[in-house]
Amino acid sequence: MKKISLLFAFVPSLFLSSAFLQAQEADIPAGTVVRMANCKIIGDRLGFSDILQRARALEFDENEANLIFFRRPIYATPDYHQNYDFQVAQYYSSFNEMRDRRSASGNSSYGRLGVQCDPAFVVRNVPVNQGDGLEDQSLMTTRFCNTINGAGWRDVYTRLGQGAANMSGDHGITTLGQMWLPALGGPMNTSFDFVYAQVGTNGEELMQRMDVFREGYRPVNGEREQVMSCERASLWSTNRVYQRDQ
């Protein structure tokens, strides 16, 4: 299967001074912008594989996102399984690129797929490590997380990067890590600060990573002060629909 790089790829608004933001995020990559929407299949006798096949057959023009993924929940919350069938993720290089392309493209083609989607929200996607490419279909986990012990974004980014480097050095596992920082839309008064996503080069690699943790491995010294606390993970099948030629 073809491998691709997933460096393109939620949170209450915080009214902070620009000086504070610069101090917190000085060493964090600018990242990219991801527009997401949760969708329900409404077409008769249609399954996710049908929707995915139809989406891949659409004609995409110069106003489309750089990268599009459909994410199907495997183990998510009961509410999500009851209300939605999958999530659309559209990746852009910047907010202005998203504005330009979506203004030019007009109405989305997804209505022809037999699906109905909720209003979209936008996150800033910050890659924690480079990963090792991504096959057309893989597995992904997401966890809702909060910063703790007075930690800021830079502390979390540094700790996650250290863990990814240690995992790669100790076990050769290069699972892509991402911090999703809320940017536009979505719930305004959430109980989490960010989402931590991990995407395997393929499904096997992500499961290997989970087994390494099951066997007791910890990539960061446990004696160090914790900088984040996360809820139990959800598991998704992530499927490439489209990638713009580079």
Tell me: the pLDDT tens digits for 74-96? Answer: 999 999 999 999 999 999 999 99
Contacts of 243 by beta carbon, 8 Å cutoff, 6+ apart: 4, 66, 67, 68
Nearest alpha carbon to residue 34 among 164, 236, 194, 155: 194
What is the reported pLDDT for 45?
87
3-state secondary structure of 223: coil
pLDDT value of residue 187: 80
Q: Where are the beta strands (DSSP E) in 134-245?
A: 134-135, 137-147, 176-184, 194-199, 228-230, 234-243
Say what the pLDDT of residue 132 is. Answer: 86
Could you give the count of Cα atoms lying within 13 Å of 213 in the half-sphere of its Cβ? 11
**How many whole angstroms separate alpha carbon 82 and alpha carbon 77?**
9
Low-confidence ranges of the chain (pLDDT < 70): 1-26, 106-111, 222-224, 246
CATH class of 3-243: alpha beta
Of 144, 142, 168, 136, the residue nearest 242 (C-alpha): 136
Q: Which pTM does this prediction carry? A: 0.85
Q: Which two tokens stand for residue 155?
A: 């502390």
| Cα–Cα dist 198/196, whole Å | 7
The conformational region for residue 189 under phi > 0 = left, psi -120 to 50 = alpha, else beta, is beta
C-alpha to C-alpha distance for 197 and 38, rounded to whole angstroms = 17
Alpha helices in the chain (DSSP H): 18-25, 48-56, 78-83, 95-105, 153-171, 203-214
Q: Which amino acid is at 181?
A: L
